[in-house]
Amino acid sequence: MATLPKHLFEHKQKSNKKPMLRPTPHTKGTKKLYIKTYGCQMNVYDTQRMADALAPEGYVHVEQADGADMVILNTCHIREKAAEKIYSELGRIRLMVDKNNKNVAEGQETKPIIAVAGCVAQAEGREIMRRAPIVDMVFGPQSYHKLPEMLGKIANGQRKVLDTDFPTEDKFDSLPAANPTNIIARGVTAFLTIQEGCDKFCTFCVVPYTRGAEYSRSIARILNEAQNLVNNGVREITLLGQNVNAYHGQDDAGNAVNLAGLMTALDTIEGLARIRYTTSHPNDMDQALIDIHANQKSAMPYLHLPVQSGSNAILTAMNRRHSRESYIKVIERLRASRPDIALSGDFIIGFPGETDDDFEATLDLVRQVTYSQAYSFKYSSRPGTSAANLTNQVDDEVKTKRLAILQVLLNQQQRQFNQNTVGATLDILFERSGREDGQLIGRSPYLQPVYVDAPTEMIGQIRPVYIESLGNFALKGNLAS
């Protein structure tokens, strides 16, 4: 017998249930906004900008979903099970809503506005609407500046709002500046997106599909945003982009400016002590940018430069457009310019066709480069990417074994890097209070977390700290007089 389409059953089941709750209509005044963030630093930044977009509507960010007037899940689609995680979370929210309405008279039930944002929303918008009736709004990473407009539609009785367009206007131009209260609450380090999207199409990666084509913001807008952050106490800015070092903005006269030029311009902002940037592509590490690490004090001696694999055959299959040798050359040029630069990387283990020899080449590259920290992942096939069609997939068991071997090596290198700084005096930017009374957590120029006994007033200051010891997870230091 032919199987009937699943949705016919779902429709029948649904018709026996109570009609789906509508979000509670909002009154004027303060409203609570809960945003759960998944994935990368750019999502953390987008979450903050969503909160900025909603602040003029009276929304204040809270730390839990229960009791919130609006819940946004800001999702990530980079590796597998991303969508399933979101459906589980939506299931938990559904239970929370039901529990809160258990003893409430019929017709008086309440429900927050529930939205799914980010890259899963971009990739699976309609499917989310279909599978999770509790969701009111779905929007992608390029349309969250329209949040007030979307809320207006819901307030006017529209049941569902779906916006996964890549609009022609720049979302950053339409977003309000972050207000001082929000900046201060976020602390003395901040993210700032300067570039978004990717045109490189590595065969494993969903980013070109979820974030769209490469786009760089103008110098003036970035400088404005950076100045606003610094005016409100920020001392360190991490510039963000999927291909941040491919940045090519324009100054007011219409001249092209690359990342080195932007870093030079940012260096003129008084009070901005540290600048970092992530994530870079090896092919876009031009000499001007490499020189910045030697010549500009605010450029931190730390670089996240993913290589993904140490095997040329795999790099070709990944469409990385660089070889093992050209990557190592870039590292050599960086070290010639700034000998103490700390390196971080990303690795994908078990890309289709990866042999024992290919994996050995990755281990060999890691031994040759030596990293201060790194991120490593098992390859996961992503719908819509060209590697998903490859038939020579690697067994999960093999991937697990290889990943464990690589991670032992990377952890050893990280420990060794940290150990090498014991006995040194490093400038530490104090970021927040530690777990113990009287303790602050700060970061070294190499992005290492360091625990120091110091007064709360020192948050936001950069002080020389003598690195005394290395614990299980972090360094411990003392204020150097």
* Beta strands at 302-304 and 425-433: parallel, antiparallel or unpaired: unpaired
**Residue 252 neighbours by CB under 8 Å, 6+ apart:** 219, 220
Among 193, 216, 232, 243, binds ligand SF4 (CB under 6 A): 243
How many residues are listed for the chain in this entry?
A: 481
Q: Which is nearer to ligand 5AD, 298 or 376 (CB)?
A: 376
Residue 382 touches ligand SF4, criterion: CB under 6 A: no
Q: How far apart are the C-alpha atoms of 185 and 228, rounded to whole Å?
A: 14
The residues with which 479 forms a beta bridge, in sequence order, are 465
Residue 41 touches ligand 5AD, criterion: CB under 6 A: no
The encoded tokens of residue 243 equal 């291909």
Residue 327 touches ligand 5AD, criterion: CB under 6 A: no
Helix (H, G, I), strand (E, B) or coil at 101: coil
Residue 166 touches ligand 5AD, criterion: CB under 6 A: no
We find the least distance from the C-beta atom of residue 51 to ligand 5AD, in angstroms, to be: 24
CA triple 54-47-270, angle to 5 deg: 95
Q: Which is nearer to ligand SF4, 377 or 417 (CB)?
A: 377
Residue 304 touches ligand SF4, criterion: CB under 6 A: no
Q: Which is nearer to ligand SF4, 320 or 399 (CB)?
A: 320
Q: How far apart are the C-alpha atoms of 318 and 350, rounded to whole Å?
A: 12
End-to-end CA distance of the chain: 82
H-helix or E-strand spanning residue 204: none
The backbone torsions φ and ψ at residue 86, rounded to the nearest 5 degrees and listed phi first, read: -70, -40
Q: Which is nearer to ligand SF4, 209 or 417 (CB)?
A: 209
**For ligand SF4, which stretch binds (CB under 6 A), given 18-26, 194-202, 267-275, 398-406?**
194-202
Cβ-count burial 250-273 (b if 16+ within 10 Å, e if not): eeeeeeebbbbbbbbbbeebeebb
Residue 283 touches ligand 5AD, criterion: CB under 6 A: no
Beta-strand runs (E) in 70-219: 70-75, 113-117, 137-139, 161-163, 189-193, 195-196, 215-216
Q: Which of positions 360-399 make contact with ligand 5AD (CB under 6 A)?
A: 377, 379-380, 382
Residue 200 touches ligand SF4, criterion: CB under 6 A: yes
Q: Which is nearer to ligand 5AD, 41 or 227 (CB)?
A: 41
Among 73, 113, 205, 229, binds ligand SF4 (CB under 6 A): 205
The encoded tokens of residue 74 equal 């800001």
Q: How far apart are the C-alpha atoms of 291 and 338, rounded to whole Å?
A: 8
Residue 205 touches ligand 5AD, criterion: CB under 6 A: yes
Residue 146 touches ligand 5AD, criterion: CB under 6 A: no
Question: Which listed option, ligand 5AD, ligand SF4, none, makes contact with residue 348 (CB within 5 to 8 Å by class)?
Answer: ligand 5AD
Residue 123 touches ligand 5AD, criterion: CB under 6 A: no
The residues with which 248 forms a beta bridge, in sequence order, are 258
Return the axis-axis angle of helices 356-369 and 396-421, rounded to nearest 10°.
10
We find the least distance from the C-beta atom of residue 345 to ligand SF4, in angstroms, to be: 12
Q: Which amino acid is at 359?
A: F
Residue 204 touches ligand 5AD, criterion: CB under 6 A: yes
Q: Which is nearer to ligand 5AD, 100 or 380 (CB)?
A: 380
Residue 321 touches ligand 5AD, criterion: CB under 6 A: no
Q: Which is nearer to ligand 5AD, 369 or 426 (CB)?
A: 369
Strand order of the β-sheet with 161-163 is: 59-61, 31-37, 70-75, 113-117, 137-139, 161-163
We find the least distance from the C-beta atom of residue 319 to ligand SF4, in angstroms, to be: 8
Residue 209 touches ligand SF4, criterion: CB under 6 A: no
Residue 440 touches ligand SF4, criterion: CB under 6 A: no
Q: Which is nearer to ligand 5AD, 104 or 213 (CB)?
A: 213
Among 79, 131, 248, 321, binds ligand 5AD (CB under 6 A): 79
Residue 201 touches ligand SF4, criterion: CB under 6 A: yes
Q: Which amino acid is at 164?
A: T
Residue 137 touches ligand SF4, criterion: CB under 6 A: no
Instruction: Quote the DSSP letter at residue 282.
Output: G
Among 198, 275, 374, 387, binds ligand SF4 (CB under 6 A): 198
Residue 308 touches ligand 5AD, criterion: CB under 6 A: yes
Contact 338, 294 (CB under 8 A): yes
Residue 207 touches ligand SF4, criterion: CB under 6 A: yes
Q: 177, 337, 369: which is closest to 260 by C-alpha?
A: 337
Site of interaction with ligand SF4 (CB under 6 A): 198, 200-202, 205, 207-208, 242-243, 281
